[in-house]
Amino acid sequence: MRAAFTACAALVLFGLGAFGADAAPSAVTPPAVESAATAGATAKRLRKVPPPNFPMAPSPKCEVLDNYGDPRSGGRSHQGVDIIATLGQEIYAMADGTLTTQTIAGAPNATLSGNLWRLTAATDGTIFVYGHLSGFAPGLTKGSVVYKGQVLGYVGDTGNPGPGNYHLHFEIHPRGGNPVDPLPLLRPVPAACKVYG
């Protein structure tokens, strides 16, 4: 049991770089402890530690659509992947960085995305885009500095998904450039998630 815990801790502390050797490791700050550990029980956390290298809580629902590059209306192509979820599942920062764009549902520039965050990584300028959120985490605004694993917002259906089509639209733009297929960079996905091609 101790060996499994040590291996898990090593992964959390040193294995979270999303882009290989170029990315500096960044530890997830664990949630606050609600009750201390005792001889017969581990400490109880206020919430679960987010999965490493994944932008969303994997439960109660997580279905990843391998739909990067799929055609969209107006001659566009899909620049990310969609992760089907339930209303309100937590969305996490994929890196330490700054929230450089906030789009709010109902604004003229939000017809597709709805509520959206754009996070720019401190290490290399990689951009992570989180769209269709039901809401933003309290206290965050454009310009907020966030840490990897921090809650940024919650899954929703704002923008163009249609009512009840709850999912996270997620993009990765390495070093601030063109988008790439995020799915290979998210693997291995959490065990609770299903991937559909």
In a domain, residue 46? The reply is no
- The CA distances from residue 60 to 11, 66, 84, 166, 192, in Å, are 24, 20, 11, 12, 9
Supply the pTM of this predicted model: 0.75
In a domain, residue 169? The reply is yes
From first to last of its 197 residues, what are the pLDDT tens digits of the chain?
444 434 433 333 333 333 333 333 333 344 444 444 445 554 444 455 677 799 999 999 999 999 887 777 778 877 899 999 999 999 999 999 999 999 999 999 898 899 999 999 999 999 999 999 999 999 999 999 999 999 999 999 999 998 999 999 999 999 999 999 999 999 999 999 999 98
In a domain, residue 63? The reply is yes
Domain count, the chain: 1
User: Interior CA angle at 72 toward 68 and 73, to 5°?
Assistant: 170
CATH of residue 179: 2.70.70.10
In a domain, residue 175? The reply is yes
In a domain, residue 9? The reply is no
In a domain, residue 38? The reply is no
In a domain, residue 23? The reply is no
In a domain, residue 64? The reply is yes
The residue behind tokens 């063109």 is: 178
Record the tokens describing residue 111, joined without a space: 């017809």
Record the tokens describing residue 108, joined without a space: 């003229």
Q: What is d(CA 69, CA 166) in angstroms, rounded to the nearest whole number? A: 20
The domain of 171 spans 53-196
Three-state SS for 163-176 is CCCCEEEEEEEHHH
